[in-house]
């Protein structure tokens, strides 16, 4: 199944649950900042930001059905469909960028790196990247599916759910390697409830785009 088709198919029914650390975010991102939420789903995080007084908000998702639901539910938000792999924003044009439970949807290292490269491109120097995502688990159910799919996706932790979604749980080493272009400001391990109601290890991360890129 194409992943976009999966997300289109569940757009009306899934509730996304990974937590948003409002206080920490507000400490790094001033009101009046331009904020982009990539893989915004139906816009639940932007709705919270709107309620906190942020006004320059943009949401992008490759699922047109997610965007349709978001526009119906929160008509005051600017939500747009994007092509996979390219953030449709100018270089150095946003103050903060959010990726909530999006890396988990991207199986391959090179595609994750490309998305982080896009985040770096569109953020202003000193801009803030705020990510939350899933970490590897050690319970039997998870280990069995990591093992089953490790050769299919060439990464331990990526697996297919029975309903057709491919999802990835990450090692911390992988996450820190991926986010090397940014300067880590905050990182905390958390326990998430997944969109299917299970518990999983997770994290949140806040990084700053370095003023002079070393890449």
Ligand X SMILES: C[S@@+](CC[C@H](N)C(=O)[O-])C[C@H]1O[C@@H](n2cnc3c(N)ncnc32)[C@H](O)[C@@H]1O
Say whether residue 39 binds ligand X (CB under 6 A).
yes
**96 touches 116 (CB < 8 A):** no
Coil/strand/helix, residue 98? strand
- CA within 13 Å, CB half, 18: 24
CA 64 to CA 78: how far, in whole Å? 13
Task: Give how many residues touch ligand X by CB under 6 A.
Answer: 19
Q: How far is the CB of 14 from ligand X (least distance, A)?
A: 7
Say whether residue 41 binds ligand X (CB under 6 A).
yes
Q: Which of 34, 44, 69, 170 binds ligand X (CB under 6 A)?
A: 44
Helix boundaries (H) for the chain? 3-9, 22-28, 44-51, 64-73, 109-122, 140-153, 172-178
Question: What residues from 92 to 121 belong to the interface with ligand X (CB under 6 A)?
Answer: 100-102, 105-106
**121 touches 86 (CB < 8 A):** no
Which residues, other chains included, contact 33 with Cβ-Cβ below 8 Å and sequence gap of 6+?
A: 54, 56, 95, 96
3-state secondary structure 139-154: CHHHHHHHHHHHHHHC
Stretch that binds ligand X, among 33-41, 71-79, 123-131, 154-162 (CB under 6 A): 33-41
Q: Which of 35, 40, 96, 166 binds ligand X (CB under 6 A)?
A: 40
Closest to ligand X by CB, 102 vs 123, is 102
Say whether residue 82 binds ligand X (CB under 6 A).
yes
Closest to ligand X by CB, 72 vs 125, is 72
One character per residue 144-183, x = contact with ligand X (rule: CB under 6 A): ----------------------------------------
Question: What residues from 56 to 75 belong to the interface with ligand X (CB under 6 A)?
Answer: 61-63, 66
Tell me which residues touch ligand X (CB under 6 A): 7, 16, 18, 39-41, 44-45, 61-63, 66, 82, 84, 100-102, 105-106
């Amino acid at each position: 199944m194409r992943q976009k088709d999966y997300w289109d198919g569940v757009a009306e029914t899934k509730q996304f649950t990974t937590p948003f650390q409002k206080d920490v975010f507000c400490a790094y991102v001033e009101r009046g900042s331009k904020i982009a939420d990539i893989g915004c789903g139906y816009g639940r995080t932007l709705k919270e930001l709107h309620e906190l007084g942020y006004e320059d908000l943009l949401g992008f998702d490759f699922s047109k059905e997610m965007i349709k639901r978001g526009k119906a539910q929160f008509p005051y938000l600017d939500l747009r469909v994007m092509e996979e792999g390219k953030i449709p924003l100018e270089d150095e044009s946003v103050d903060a960028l959010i990726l909530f439970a999006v890396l988990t949807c991207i199986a391959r290292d090179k595609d994750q790196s490309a998305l982080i490269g896009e985040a770096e491109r569109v953020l202003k120097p000193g801009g803030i990247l705020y990510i939350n995502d899933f970490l590897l688990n050690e319970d039997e159910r998870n280990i069995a599916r990591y093992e089953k799919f490790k050769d299919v996706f060439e990464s331990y932790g990526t697996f297919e759910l029975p309903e057709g979604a491919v999802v990835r749980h990450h090692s911390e080493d992988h996450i820190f390697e991926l986010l090397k272009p940014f300067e880590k400001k905050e990182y905390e391990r958390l326990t998430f409830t997944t969109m299917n109601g299970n518990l999983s290890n997770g994290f949140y991360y806040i990084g700053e785009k370095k003023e002079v890129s070393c890449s």
